Structure 1
Amino acid sequence: MKTNLTALFILLSTLVFSQAVRKYSNEFMTIGVDAAALGMSNAVTSHSSDVNSGYWNPAGLLKLEDNQLALMHSSYFANIANYDYIAYAMPLDRQSAVGISLIRFAVDDILNTTQLIDDEGNINYDRISLFSTADYGLTFSYARALPLQGLNYGVNAKVIRRIIGDFASSWGFGLDAGIQFESNNNWKFGIMARDITTTFNAWAIDEEEFATVQDAVEGQNQELPETTEITIPKLQIGISKLVDFNYDYTLLTAFNLNVRFEENNDIISTSIASINPALGFEFGYIDMVYLRAGMGNFQNEMQIDNTEQLSFQPTFGVGFKYSGIQIDYAFTDIGDQSVALYSNVFSLKLDFSMFR
């Protein structure tokens, strides 16, 4: 029984106290959406051009020809956590488009055994309750064409809601901005700046509920965490090119540089910023069947003998599109090259032109 209480306390401490560590704030918003993008190792900043552009680069919403709806589900940590995503976007006219998306990352039905034993030492299983810890990200996107042909920009306004049962909750707000440019010879360029104003989260903690956890676990009397956290900006720079072969076959090659303004284990890291490259490929047949592959998450990992070894995360994906319906699959943990949080991802995209 004490093991259950200790596990509960560790979970709450990890989820709440880690908020003071700036670089890990709102990390659920950086996991990624759309199996097609994940199959290309997220190297889609320059060419994203559908409803999922609200996440990858809102400037890409200008390429929409009709309303679109996207859905995605994935399970993490042996199905303990669920990651769900839904998005809708529509063109307003030839010069502007809007979109809205919602991400939920949660662990549901966690046993709360803090009230299992009463003041007299009696065990009452009816006093066990369930709670969830859930992170929500609601994004409103707007895109507009600039006077220069081929140049578009987009902005995101994000509302973050994080809940840990009855123990603590927070609200956060932030902004993203992105641009895309397409040349006459199918070269595409894109820049996505996330959390450009830093995303602020303000926590409200129920001291009485939080105290029940400390009372339930002997020897634990930690102070309450800070009530404010911020998410530092990130930058993604992308370039891609689409090549047609005999009208039936296409090859899309994309390259990204993902920049974080911190020092970590990325392949290029300084005291000011770290840079992690990503490379993706998509082979298409008659705009119906797609094969995808990519490499990303390059890390300098320290070995037992204190030497560094370069590791990376390969990805693979397939897709099928017919009459406005697109189904994509991504396999993102191949072999022993990475310790990815997920392996199998499925997503669905509907183009409303199929109803017209």
Structure 2
Amino acid sequence: MKFLIKSICLLYLLQLPVYAAVAVHPKAGSTSASFLRLGIGGRPVAMSAYTAISDDVQAVHWNPAGLSQLKENELSIMHNESFQGIKHNFLGYAHKLKGGYLGLSFITLTVPTDLERRSGLNENDVFDPITEVEGYFSASDIAGILSYSRKVSPSLYLGGNLKYIRQTIDIDNADTFALDLGALYSVDKIKNLKLALTLENMGGGIKFIRKEFPLPFSITFGAGYKTVNDKLILAIDFKQFVDDYLTTSIGTEYSLTDMFVVRGGYKYRLNGNPLGDISGLSTGLGVNFNNVSFDYAFKPYGVMGDTHRLSFRVRFQEIRQLYLFRSKPTGKKISKEEISLPVQKIPDIDKYTYTLAETDAKFIPIDNRTFRANVTASAKQGSIRKVNFVMPVPAQSEIKVYFGETDLPELSPKVSKKKLIYRHFNIKPELRIKKMFYEIRIPGKWIDENNVNSEKIIFMFKEERNKYLEIEGNKTISAGDFYYYSVEGPALPFTVVGIKKAR
């Protein structure tokens, strides 16, 4: 991690100008549809860098691949009260499909009807070249965007946008189509680090009357890092437009509480920011309520004025589900009669198919946002018999809990040689769970055959690559052919539980 931070700092410092003057790019002003350059969303604009962080419906603008990181359907509305009366708006919706996410969004930019219309008939008059105002007109831009994104592997997300772009100046208008492509990659060796790449505005130009102006094509590379508890997010973007110098954006987000978030960022353009150093600054805050978020961003534009973006996001809750998967005993098949429910595909884990067992779940409300759940499984071969956990979700949510049976991948040889593994359990909560208490049963025959001391069973919870948290189980009862143990364990997204043989 230290190497990553040093590398980012070095790349940023290498872009600092060797002289203070602001340089104008040779192709400056040669492209059309400049409104596509403007940032969308209170959260992204406040951070300045968002390509590798994109995890909401606003990803359609920053990186369409990020749509696949959504957990639920989402609607977002943004209004940008810009300088000189210019209004910038966004409306977007993302819907979860079986194979990915589909998004539909619109971006508009409107200029007040205060642009002066002059004929220019006297422009050759050296004494009075400026003609009288003959009227006023307005201008507007609109883009309709159809997006699709899917997770193609455990570490790789891909996405794309098809854009319809239309510009209107007074009574004249022109339109075109464009394509965006995006990729998002989770780095396996560095936990919580993501890399991103986007290609934007690939398509035909905008043609008014006789001359055609190309779209502002750009390439962006980004990196984002979340701390283990997700309280702090760091991001950096390198963006290259076809008609401008390279810009570097750095941003951060810090969660003060589950409700309040503060953000800040800075964008630097190689050879200087045209509107002054202050124009690179951005800041903002966010307020979260269950499935609703409000985000505000402040961004100055030097002598042009300041902009204020306010965005609203709402997530449409589906049925909340907690999946607890366990592996089949080696060499033994489970008969269909022992499983209560048919084989089903579990979202986001396409590599494995899980046979689900019935559960009896009782949810006791602690307050208006938190449940205590008591769950009992009914599969005859089940090792996990009961689970007790505290789960902060809205009281009106519908909640389902499944215990699944499947063949999970074996642990690495290094781990298997040191530990006696009875069975693996893959625990995947879709919600934030505070504590988990398990009641696990183990066949007495297995304990006897492996010389395990039934009074001292150590359960191992996998926290990260080959690193285990060891917790001693509390033997409760012996019933029939089984020993029953209670243990408090972590509630990590992916947990492998084993049993350590006492020496």
* TM score, norm. by length of structure 2: 0.51
Quick check: 1:133–1:164 contact (8 Å CA) kept in 2?
Answer: yes
Distance 1:299 1:158 in 2: 29
Q: Any idea what SS the aligned residue of 2:71 has?
A: coil
Quick check: 2:82–2:308 contact (8 Å CA) kept in 1?
Answer: no
Quick check: 2:75–2:92 contact (8 Å CA) kept in 1?
Answer: yes
Within the candidate set 53, 59, 66, 1:60 is matched to 66
Distance 1:341 1:136 in 2: 23
Equivalent residue number for residue 255 of structure 2 = 284
Distance 2:181 2:107 in 1: 18
Q: How does 1:1-356 map to 2 (within 5 A)?
A: 23-41=30-48, 43-78=49-84, 80-93=85-98, 95-110=99-114, 131-146=137-152, 148-166=153-171, 168-184=172-188, 185-196=191-202, 198-203=203-208, 205=209, 226-245=210-229, 250-262=231-243, 264=244, 274-301=245-272, 313-333=280-300, 338-339=302-303, 342-353=306-317
Quick check: 1:161–1:169 contact (8 Å CA) kept in 2?
Answer: yes
Quick check: 1:22–1:232 contact (8 Å CA) kept in 2?
Answer: no
Distance 2:273 2:161 in 1: 37
1:333 to partner: Cα distance: 2.0
Q: Any idea what SS the aligned residue of 1:318 has?
A: strand
Q: Any idea what SS the aligned residue of 1:300 has?
A: coil
Comparing 172-181 with 343-352, greater Cα deviation is found at 343-352
1:199 to partner: Cα distance: 3.7
Please, which runs of 5 or more residues in structure 1 have no aligned partner? Answer: 1-19, 116-127, 206-225, 265-273, 304-308
Quick check: 1:300–1:311 contact (8 Å CA) kept in 2?
Answer: no
Q: Any idea what SS the aligned residue of 1:60 has?
A: helix
Comparing 285-294 with 96-105, greater Cα deviation is found at 285-294
1:232 to partner: Cα distance: 4.5
1:129 to partner: Cα distance: 7.7
Residue identity opposite 1:231 in structure 2:
L
Residue identity opposite 1:234 in structure 2:
S
Q: Which has the higher helix share?
A: 1
Residue identity opposite 1:314 in structure 2:
L
Distance 2:72 2:298 in 1: 29
Residue identity opposite 1:282 in structure 2:
E
Write the deviation string for residues 190-238 of structure 1: whole angstroms up to 9, x where unpaired.
1111023x342233x5xxxxxxxxxxxxxxxxxxxx3422114211110
Residue identity opposite 2:50 in structure 1:
V
Residue identity opposite 2:179 in structure 1:
L
Quick check: 2:83–2:304 contact (8 Å CA) kept in 1?
Answer: no
Higher relative contact order (CA 8 A, sep 6+): 1
Equivalent residue number for residue 124 of structure 1 = none
Residue identity opposite 1:230 in structure 2:
P
Distance 1:333 1:111 in 2: 23
* TM score, norm. by length of structure 1: 0.70
1:322 to partner: Cα distance: 0.7
1:341 to partner: Cα distance: 5.7
Quick check: 2:279–2:300 contact (8 Å CA) kept in 1?
Answer: no
Distance 2:146 2:139 in 1: 24
Distance 1:298 1:312 in 2: 10
Quick check: 2:236–2:248 contact (8 Å CA) kept in 1?
Answer: yes
Distance 1:113 1:236 in 2: 38
Q: Any idea what SS the aligned residue of 2:231 has?
A: strand
Structure whose alpha-carbon radius of gyration is higher: 2
Residue identity opposite 2:266 in structure 1:
M
Please, which runs of 5 or more residues in structure 2 have no aligned partner? Answer: 1-26, 120-133, 318-393, 398-503
Distance 1:99 1:53 in 2: 10
Quick check: 2:92–2:106 contact (8 Å CA) kept in 1?
Answer: yes
How much identity, in percent, do the aligned residues show? 25
Quick check: 1:74–1:342 contact (8 Å CA) kept in 2?
Answer: no
Q: Any idea what SS the aligned residue of 1:332 has?
A: strand
